[in-house]
Amino acid sequence: MKKQVILIALIVIALFVTTIVIVLNMISKSTFIAHEDSPKTYWLENATDEDKFERMVSITLYRRGAAALPQPMISSYMLPDGKHDVVNGELIIYATTVNEPLAIFIIEDNDTLVLKSKNVPISADIGARYKSNQ
């Protein structure tokens, strides 16, 4: 009888923990980025050959919070090293030395980011879509 009570208690605890994990994953879009393989790169959707020289064609996110926004070859502006965070379904990329956002992206789904705003001369248009190939 005592073994049955312990077994039932363990099953209830396991179900409770599983339920919490599932609910937390459903609540926050940050799980889209936080649990992906690292690094994860998003590429400018429908980029032309010209875009590859004139636009920021990729965004790379690393598991420990680092982020890379490579500028095109023709740009004279060099972005600082970046870090990322997810807040309310938006990916925010900061300079590692300052907590001011460099750029904010809307997380559309697991594989799509849309540039919402930028606070530095990033060579990308507002509304530009970036898709992951993973």
Sign of CA dihedral 122, 90, 127, 61: positive
Asked, for residue 126, whether it belongs to a domain, the answer is yes
* Higher per-residue pLDDT: 36 or 72: 72
Q: What 3-state class would DSSP assign to 101?
A: strand
pLDDT at 59 over 80: yes
Q: If pLDDT is split at 50, 70 and 90, which confidence band does 33 have?
A: low
Q: Is residue 22 part of a domain?
A: no
pTM for the complete prediction?
Answer: 0.67
121 domain-assigned = yes
pLDDT classification of 114: cutoffs 50, 70, 90: very high
The phi, psi pair for 31, rounded to 5°, reads: -65, -25
Domain that holds residue 59: 29-132
Q: Look at residue 29 in the predicted model and tell me its pLDDT.
A: 45
Residue 96 lies in a domain: yes
Q: Could you give the number of structural domains in the chain?
A: 1
The answer as to whether 85 is a domain residue is yes
Output the domain CATH number for residue 67.
2.40.128
Q: What is the mean pLDDT of the chain?
A: 79
Q: 50 in a domain, yes or no?
A: yes
CA distance 107 to 47: 19
Is residue 20 one of the residues assigned to a domain? no
